[in-house]
Structure 1
Amino acid sequence: MFYRLGYIGFRYRYLVLAIWLALFLVSAPTIRQLPSVLKVGGFSNPNIESARARAVLEDNLPSFSPSVLVVIFESEEYTAFDPEFSDEANRVIDNILTISETAGATRFQDSPRQISSDGHTAYSAVQINLSPEESQRLMPEIRDVLPETSIATTLAGVPAFYEDVETISEQDLQRAELFAIPFALIALLLVFGTVVGAAVPLFVGGVSVATVLGLVFLLAQRVDMSIFVLNLTTMLGLGLAIDYSLFMTSRFREELDKRSVEEAVAVTVGTAGRAVFFSGLTVLIGLGGLAQFDFMFLRSVGIAGVAVVSVGMIGALTLLPAVLGIVGQRINRFQIIKRKDDSSGTFWVRLSNVVMDHPWKVFIPTLAFLLLLGIPFLDVELSSPDATILPTRVESRQGFEVLRREFGDGEISPIVVALETDTNVTDRENLAALYDFTRDFAADDRVTRIDSIVTLDPRLTLDQYNLLYNSPGGITDQFVQENLNQLASENATVVLLYIRGLAGDDESKALLTDVRNYQFGGDFRVLVDGGTAEIVDVVNLMYDQFPYVALVIVLATYFVLLFLFRSVVLPLKAILINTLSIAASYGALVFIFQQGNFSSILGFEPQGYVEASLPIIMFCVLFGLSMDYEVFLLSRVRETYLETNDNRQSVAIGLQRSGRIITGAALIVVVVTASFVTAEIVLVKALGLGIAIAVFLDATIARALLVPSTMRLLGNVNWWLPKWLQRLLPKKEYKH
């Protein structure tokens, strides 16, 4: 099948090239429009408790809107109590409220707790009747209506945060591309030694990435796609497309020494193309696993990942053979690095001999080294992203830090208790339940204050609250009525517990558990929201689903490799070694981004945690990507084994023939993914560096040392296949 596909690609090479160029020309104009159709966020799920609590409040309380813009005012000269400060702040809020999508504002003049202790900083909260993803589109209009004032104004909150994430993501991508493409070309020149040989994979990679981005643009019209897809698509698309092209181009140059151009193309697709197809399947399985998660962010990365791998494979099996058929013998033109033919004196021959002669001395240290690298992951702390993933130069991050400095960590993200009833919130039994709950937690040292309809004044008793809300003449106090309007409706109310620490602190999580376990009186249905609840719910749901997704990926990969290598042992060995490589990269992730090592060199602020989705994304990406190199290596080993039936010789020759190409291919991926270390968004920086470290370890320590030494120790057991299974698998294999 693959051999015939190579012949077809050669025969219709100009038509195939024209089709791909047409796809490129159609896709190219959409690339600039792509960010506008992608969404920020997607880290939540409407079915988790915190999201359901938020929905209850948005449906029942007018003061709770889907999005809130925080407008911070600062002045060294005036305080919030001065008319100059207050009038200027009101002018800003009044102008913002002229925008039709705004629903109102909670001004600091009506809520003294929104004024800092020294009075020189205050904030007002503007409610916006749009989802967080849509509210960011209002930010240019909001900035246009801001008047010039004598006090400093900073915009923060979800709309500003989402806008900054989108802007910085685009800048990160442009910066990474400036590094990735030139360094990828240098790496290709080092691998091939000729300008034409290096240009072919780069050309195929560029056309493939442009086509993928065009495809993602179309997909984003139908399904929600995360803004981070932009970075991952380029990162993986360029790396994989060049990887596949490099592997096949190398085989083509090898075959060209002993065959015609047509035959060389056909044999290349029949051997290396077959390996690329099955290698791509393993990557596709891994990335496809992400599409099974109930989070838009992970699901869209999975969908885009499947598109990346599919286009990369199709490009390698159609566009590349066409280009190779056109280039032909000119593939070796413009040589800049002279390479000797493989001989007994080459590095890979010497290395293979060392590994074959001393397998235990190689196996034990490499295994221990990978296990040692993974140890820091035992102390991992998982959390969801907040404004700290952004650089300190952007406005929303600056506003976030002002709120933390002037009002404390807990002011930013209180625990939000949503209570719903079929009777009336102010019925005596319900008021008693609220009163008991607020008094119990007001005595808790982890709580700094509580806002509710029964905490207006600590001197008021339950009977007095009952009298205030249930007096036959109605509520006569304006302050009480305004507070009730803001915090309750007839059938729902909210209690805000302001905490001492940040949302992700262990103390805050323990407090959340106590709140959720509290036995309420009355007839309330209780749901808990807030930053802490969101973090806990998201992490729990992600990691409830992760084991099942991982199991599907592992089993599917096992059967693909079983079909390819006709062995029950080799797939199992590949999966175990993959797991070791991934564990080592997890350890590096904790060591660098959670513990903060090398933070000054890499230019980021230590998070104190690992973003919860990172280990999942890395597993799904790396499990397939690592299998790439396993398939490339074992394909050459199996070719030799079919010819010689000698395990030791086949492993040695397989390493000799594929070692330089595997390390070259890995170098490309490392260069491309490491270029995203220049990103200012910590999430993107961590993903790029994590993949780069994992691929480097996998292609050097794992594939060059651990895999061949393990195969040497296992001997002919590597190729064991029960007879009953032999009868089930197809018997035809391509040989040449």
Structure 2
Amino acid sequence: MFYRLGKFATRHRWLIVGLWILAAVIALPFAPRASQVLQSGGFESPDSESQKAIDTLVQKLHVNETIVQVIFTSDRYTVADPQFSQQSEQALARIRTWSEVAQVTSYLDNPRQVSQDQHAAYVNIQMKADANVAAKLLPELEQRLQKVPDLQMKVGGGPVFYEDIQRVSENDLRRAELLAFPFAIIALLLVFRSVIAAVLPALVGGFAVVVSLALIFGLGQLTPLSIFVLNITTLFGLGLGVDYSLFMVSRFREELAHGRSIDEAIAITVATAGRAVTSSGLTVSIGLFGLTFFHINMLHSVGMGGILVVVLAVVAAITLLPAMLSILGLRVNALPVRLPRFGRRPAVVNTELDPHHGYWYRLSQFVMRYPLRVFFPVLLLLLSFGAPFLGVRFSAPDASILPASVPSRAAYDLLVQRFNQRETTPILMAVQTKGNALTPDNIKNLYYYVRRIEADPRVERVDSIVSADPRFTLEQYQLLYTHPELIADPYLGAFLKSSVSGNTLFVQVISKHGMVDPDSQALVQTIRNTDPGNGISVLVDGGTAGNIDYVSSLYTDFPIAILIVSITTYIVLLLLFRSLLLPLKAIIMNTLSILASYGALVLIFQDGFLHQILGFTPLGFVEASSPILLFCSLFGLSMDYEVFLLSRIQEAFWQTGDNRRAVALGLQRSGGIITSAAVIVIVVSACFATADMILVKALGIGMALAVIIDATLVRGLLVPATMRLLGDWNWWLPFLGVQRHPPALAKYMTPDDGATDYTATSSTDMDVHVGGKR
């Protein structure tokens, strides 16, 4: 099939190139607009208790969580000075009359919105629109916010956070693209030493990215997609698009060196390297497919976008690239670049090199001479790399994932440093009673329930209609709420109106500990797990509860994703290698390199190792989605290299029937191309590690480190050691035994002469007989 596809590409080369150019021309107006249809949120699970709690409060009490905070600070005045209040009110004058604002709660209304040093205070501006829409209204809000001479203002809150995520993500993407393209081309020049050959893979990767972004723009019109789709699309589009083209161009150049005609060289290239690329795309897509099982929209949409760009990268590599190679022909080697050679020959094209004297052959022979001495130290080293993950602390993303220079992060830091953070992150409770909440019986039940919560040593206080004034007794509350319309105290009347509707009450619990403190998390779990009794039901929301639910939702779905990805990959590799143990070994090898990158996540982002060099503030935790993104991204990518290596070893085993010799020959024939492909992915991933957004930075660093470990310690040492220890069991399948010469593939086999490297560029390449020629 792939051979016929190669022939088709040569016959219709101009048509194929024309169609891709047309697709790119159509895509160009839409690709830059992809961010416009993407959403900055998507970290909530619709099935979580915290989401149900806020849905209840919004529906019953019209509580709106879309709040913009304006923080006023002054070195000259304290909050008690008249100038402070006069100027703050002057600044807010046009905000109060704005039709998009539902309510403005000043520090004059709530004294707890004053800083501990009395030189700062914040105002909550409740917007009518949701956070994503409110983010688009921020320019007008800032325009209405009048500057005053003696107060400094910082604007923060959810809408500002979402706007900053959007802007920082787009800036990160532009920076990564500007860095990735030139560095990828430099790497390709070192491999190919030809300008034309080096530009082709970058061109194919660019086509895949542009068309993918345009399709994401269309998909975003139909379903909610996260802004992080942008980064994963470019990362995989460039990394894999260039990688796949590298295999194809390398194979094509080698076939030309063997004296093939251009048409024949392209057909064999697609039949061998094209088959490898397609298998690789399948394994990567399986890994990304695991993300679509999560209820968190950010992961779900990143999985969809990732699969889309991988499919396009594969299609471009097996259609557009062969068509362009057919047009270029021998000119693929044009514009040679004179660069210093490192070693005797380039790592990719080594057909004239005796495999028995190559670096990878010698390395594998050394490893297989002492397999146990290599296996255990390398295994212990990889496990030690992953050991820090045992101390991981997960948390949901907040403004700390953004650089300190953006408005929402500056406002967040100011709140943390100068205000009582416990006041700004209360535990929110949607409490529902049987019948009207203000009946004497319900007031009694609520009174005693709130007292039980207040008795918890972790609780600072509870804000509710039955604890509004500590001087009131139960009987006084019951009497007061018998005729709520007669309440004379304006504060209590406003509080009652905003806290009760029918059978639903809004209660806030202030913890003595910070939002992510284990004691606050334990307090939330205690409230959730304690039955209020008397027909009262409770749903808990707030920063701490949302954090718990976010992590719980992710790691409830994660084992399912791991199981599905692993089983699917195992079946695909079982069919590909016809072995019971090789797929299992491949999955274990992948897991080891991924665990090593997990350890790096903890050391770098939780503990702050190298944070000054990498340019970020340590979080003190690992953002909970990062390990999942890394697993699903790296599982397929690492399996990609495993497939390249094992396929070449399998070829050599079918040729020689000798497991030890097959491992050495397979590693020699694939080592160079795997190293070159890994370098490309490392370069592209490292460019994304320059991102200001910590989520993207973590993905870039994690992928770069995992690929480095995978292409060196795992592929160079651990794989040959394990294959030497397993021996012929590598190739055993029940009922078929050890297959040395599968009859169905006999016509593709060429006897190994012990000296010539027949297929030096693609890991799943087979020697193909076409028209009587090898």
Same fold by TM-score, threshold 0.5 exceeded? yes
Cα distance, 1:440–1:346 mapped onto 2, change above 3 Å: same
1:381-428 deviation per Cα after TM superposition (whole angstroms, max 9, x unaligned)? 111001111111111111112222222221221111111234122222
Which runs of 5 or more structure 1 residues have no equivalent in the other structure?
Answer: none
Work out whether residues 195 and 336 of structure 1, in 8 Å CA contact, stay in contact via their aligned partners in 2: no
Question: Matched residues in 2 for 1:529 and 1:472: separation?
Answer: 27
Length-normalised TM-score, structure 2: 0.92
Greater displacement, 612-621 / 400-409: 400-409
Query: Residue 594 of structure 1 contacts residue 608 of structure 1 at CA under 8 Å; is this kept in 2?
Result: yes
Tell me by how many angstroms 1:615 deviates.
1.0
* Superposition pairs of residues 284-433 of structure 1, within 5 angstroms: 284-333=285-334, 334-337=336-339, 340=345, 341-343=352-354, 344-433=356-445
5 Å-filtered alignment, 1:218-233, equals 218-233=218-233
Q: Is 1:464 aligned to 2:466, yes or no? A: no
How many Å separate the matches in 1 of 2:520 and 2:15? Answer: 63
DSSP-derived class of the 2:137 partner: helix
- Structure 1 residues 160-208: Cα deviation after superposition (integer angstroms, max 9, x where no partner): 1111111111111112222211211121122222222211111111111
Q: TM-score, normalised by structure 1?
A: 0.96
**Cα separation, 1, equivalents of 2:678 and 2:542:** 43
Paired letter, 1:365: P
- Provide the residue aligned with 1:206 in structure 2: 206
Bigger drift between 284-293 and 362-371 goes to 362-371
CA contact (8 A) 1:404 1:411 kept: no
- The amino acid that maps onto 2:713 is I
User: In structure 2, what is the Cα distance between the partners aligned to 1:261 and 1:708?
Assistant: 36
Establish whether residue 626 from structure 1 lines up as the match of residue 638 from structure 2: yes
Deviations 1:87-128, CA, capped at 9 Å, x for gaps: 332233342244433211222211111122333211111112
Taking a change above 3 Å as real, the CA distance of residues 713 and 724 of structure 1, as seen in their structure-2 partners, is: closer
Asked whether the equivalents of residues 50 and 545 of structure 2 are also in contact (C-alpha less than 8 Å), the reply is yes
Tell me the equivalent position of 1:37: 37
Contact 2:402–2:694 (Cα < 8 Å) also in 1 = yes
Residues 403, 411 of structure 1: 8 Å contact kept: no
Query: How does 1:53-132 map onto structure 2 within 5 Å?
Result: 53-62=53-62, 64-132=63-131
**1:269 alignment counterpart:** 270
Aligned to 2:712: 700
Deviations, residues 460-483 of structure 1 (Å, cap 9, x unaligned): 211111122114973233222111
- Given residue 338 of structure 2, which amino acid in structure 1 is its aligned partner? I
Is this contact kept in 2: 1:673–1:691, CA < 8 A? yes
1:342 corresponds to which letter in structure 2? L
Q: Could you tell me how far 1:140 is from its partner in structure 2? A: 1.3
Letter paired with 2:254: E
Verify the 8 A CA contact 2:729 2:738 in the aligned structure 1: no
What SS class does the counterpart of residue 281 from structure 1 fall into?
A: helix
For 1:723 and 1:268, locate their aligned partners in 2 and report how far apart those are by CA, in whole Å: 34
Q: Which moved more, 1:348-357 or 1:108-117?
A: 348-357
Residue identity matched to 1:302: G
How far apart are the structure 2 equivalents of 1:310 and 1:83?
Answer: 64
Check conservation: 1:381, 1:610, Cα contact below 8 A: yes
Letter in 1 for 2:148: T
Give the equivalent residue in structure 1 for 2:27. 27
Distance 1:498 1:730, change over 3 A: farther
1:546 and 1:616 in contact (8 A); partners too: yes
Match of 2:495 in 1: 483
1:565 maps onto 2:577 in alignment = yes
Aligned to 1:179: 179
Pick which of 407-416 and 681-690 moved more: 407-416
Secondary structure in 1 matching 2:712: helix
Alignment CA distance shift 1:724-1:639 (3 Å): closer
In structure 2, give the amino acid aligned to 1:349. Answer: Y
Gaps of 5+ in 2: 346-351, 749-766, 769-774
Amino acid in structure 1 at the alignment position of 2:290: G
| 8 A Cα contact 2:31 2:211, kept in partner | no
Distance in 1 separating the partners of 2:144 and 2:629: 41
Q: State the alpha-carbon separation in 2 of the partners of residues 722 and 442 from structure 1.
A: 65
**Pair 1:575 & 2:576 matched:** no
State the 4+ residue runs in structure 1 displaced beyond 6 angstroms: 724-727
Partner SS for 1:33:
helix
Shift of residue 80, structure 1, vs aligned partner:
2.7
- 1:145 aligns with 144
Partner of 1:216: 216
Give runs of aligned pairs for residues 563-712 of structure 1, distance below 5 A. Answer: 563-712=575-724
- Is the 1:66–1:129 contact (alpha carbons within 8 Å) kept by the matching residues of 2? no
Query: What's the CA shift string for 1:286-335, capped at 9, x where partnerless?
Result: 10111111111011001001101100111111111112222222223314
Is 546-555 or 638-647 further displaced after alignment?
638-647
Q: Secondary structure at the match of 2:29?
A: helix
Cα distance in 2 between the residues matched to 1:94 and 1:292: 48
Deviation at 1:350, TM superposition (A): 2.4
Query: CA 1:473 to 1:226, structure 2 compared with 1: closer, same or farther past 3 Å?
Result: closer
Q: Alignment length, in residue pairs? A: 734
SS of residue paired to 2:486: coil
Q: Which amino acid aligns with 2:381?
A: F
Q: Which residue of 1 aligns with 2:234?
A: 234
CA distance in 2, matches of 1:282, 1:473: 67
Provide the rounded CA distance (Å) in 2 between the counterparts of 1:144 and 1:590.
42
Q: After superposing the two structures, state which structure 1 stretch, 411-420 or 74-83, moved more.
A: 74-83
Rounded to whole Å, the distance in 1 between the matches of 2:153 and 2:473 is 41
**Structure 2: distance between partners of 1:573 and 1:362:** 16
Aligned to 2:261: 260
Q: Kindly state the Cα deviation for residue 450 of structure 1 after the two structures are TM-superposed.
A: 2.4
Match of 1:545 among 541, 557, 571: 557
How many Å separate the matches in 2 of 1:574 and 1:111? 60
* Contact 1:437-1:520 within 8 A present in 2 as well: yes
Partner of 1:2: 2
Q: CA deviation at 1:355?
A: 2.5
Whether 2:729 is the aligned partner of 1:717: answer: yes
Does the residue aligned with 2:153 lie in a helix, a strand or coil? strand
Choose 554-563 or 182-191, whichever is displaced more.
182-191
**Structural mapping, 1:510-521, within 5 Å:** 510-521=522-533
Give the superposition deviation at 1:442.
Answer: 3.0
Whether the aligned pair in 2 keeps the contact of 1:176 and 1:675 (CA below 8 Å) is yes
Per-residue displacement from partner, 1:38-83 (whole Å, max 9, x unpaired)?
1001011122100000011111224x21411111111222233333
Q: CA RMSD in A?
A: 2.0
| Range 350-359 or range 625-634, more displaced | 350-359
Task: Map Cα deviations across residues 483-526 of structure 1 (whole Å, 9 max, x no partner).
Answer: 10122223211111122333221111111111112332443221
